[in-house]
Amino acid sequence: MPIFNYGIDHLTPGVAIDIAEGRTQGVLNEEATQKILASRQNVLDITEQERIVYGVNTGFGSLCTTIINKADAGKLQENILRSHSVGVGAETPLDVAKLMMILKVHALSKGYSGVALETLERIIWHIEQDFIPYVPQQGSVGASGDLAPLAHLFLPLIGEGKIWKDEQWITTRELFQSENKDSLNLGPKEGLALINGTQFIAAYALKGFVRMSNCLDSADIIGAMSLEALKGSMKPFDSELHQIRPYKGSIYVADRLEKLVTGSEIINSHQNCSRVQDPYSLRCMPQVHGASRNAWLHLKEILTIEINSVTDNPIICSVDKTISGGNFHGQPMAMPIDYASLASAEIGNISDRRVYLMLEGDVEGLPALLMNNTGLNSGFMIPQYTSAALVSENKGLCFPSSADSVPTSLGQEDHVSMGSIGGRKLNTILDNLENILGIELFCAAQGFDFRKPLKSSAILEEVHAHIRQQITFATEDRIFGDDMAIATDIIRNKEIVSVANEAADRHNINLYNHEVFGIY
């Protein structure tokens, strides 16, 4: 199994997912261990010298001027976990909570936080054993660290909170009894270091980033299938057109679309038709899908910096240098998350327009509502209603969370990012987007069949065959909601992307730029 060295190696979103899913092992090597021990000693020396350092021997937030005596240093750190565990709402998905722990270990292992080695080893034990703490979704304002969710996440270190084990929630005490473990005694600064940071924002952003990547790849493939069903033109994907307006996303999408339909008999069958140009939802796929890819690239750049950064407070540089700064503030992540949310919603918006085009019956050989015997049958009319509803819902969710701020901590924390809310909203938008793309996939596969006996490209024929293994051609009305659910699962499980990439590899077609548009 590949090894990732916490605090030393460069973490990418893909590697973080691999650690969470057990394909890579995260460890503390000797170099990281020495940095952790040295930083811990700095905090202990500061405590012994009774130098005033925020959160080490002072209260928190607006209580930063209240001095805490040395004997109560440990109690102070346990109290912060308890007092800040005030989250509400539904539970954070287990995969997100696990990512939070992975990101926190990596940040604390860089040697600027002063936590004990034993504390980090215990968190790693939770990760490796898949003992995931209960974390409510709501309560973070995304600025003074993701305080509430991180407090819940690390309650088990002191023997409190709940743990997911054997498909149920149990108390931490029950876990420790079954695993022969004791709670930890936190020392100076440890509680503050654990709850100060952007790991809730970053974990949600990381999950959304990977999901958005799959949606973008899927949208190109499904869009190409819709293009074939609608007898669209390849001319708008000519590389010369995009080189004179050279956005990375547009160039990449145009190249993919051209390769996805190369060799298609359907394309060749209408090269000399009278239609001058296609509607925007077909011809502008490089520009629209490409713009969303540009947003994704921006999120990739910012997220990669964030998950390799130290985001707690104060930062312990040495015994003589401690800095109370603002690395915990979520604004650098909050704004790109909002940008990615808008970009994801727009992919759904243009997808719905392609569905509508396929239903109109204005293109030769494609019946209205994608069914021959309509009247008695409603055909594919109503799936587009669902698509329209989801598109509209996503528009409402696009209001930027980062545009809001509510002061907290008696004005000490007077500007906050709300990036935690943005991260959750991004994933809600992606839930809707996967359903929208599933509806287009369902419709495009139906339209594709009306082009027989003509064949499409080798890649799209394999994608269509894969869909038809699970969803049959519809000659009359049935419970289309069941078909739509299957189509959405095909997208969520990354099936059409895998099928398309494997087909491209077999035909020596370079469909995917791993270096720029990969998650690693």
List, by residue number, the catalytic residues. Answer: 54
User: How far apart, in whole angstroms, are the C-alpha atoms of residue 194 and residue 92?
Assistant: 18
User: How far apart, in whole angstroms, are the C-alpha atoms of residue 169 and residue 194?
Assistant: 22
User: How far apart, in whole angstroms, are the C-alpha atoms of residue 99 and residue 438?
Assistant: 27
Tokens 């930062």 label which residue?
315
Beta bridge partners of 67: 58
The answer to whether 198 and 142 are in contact (CB under 8 A) is yes
* DSSP codes of every residue in 428-451: HHHHHHHHHHHHHHHHHHHHHHTT
> What are the structure tokens assigned to 181, written together?
């473990």
The answer to whether 222 and 351 are in contact (CB under 8 A) is yes
Conformational region of residue 365, where left means phi above 0, alpha means psi within -120 to 50, and beta covers everything else: left
User: Cα dist. 302→167, 343, 379 in Å?
Assistant: 35, 16, 45
* Exposure class string for 371-394: b at 16+ Cβ within 10 A, else e: beebeebebbbebbebbeebbeeb
User: How far apart, in whole angstroms, are the C-alpha atoms of residue 239 and residue 73?
Assistant: 64
Helix (H) / strand (E) containing 136: strand 136-138
User: How far apart, in whole angstroms, are the C-alpha atoms of residue 172 and residue 183?
Assistant: 9
User: How far apart, in whole angstroms, are the C-alpha atoms of residue 140 and residue 198?
Assistant: 10
> What are the structure tokens assigned to 431, written together?
């839930």
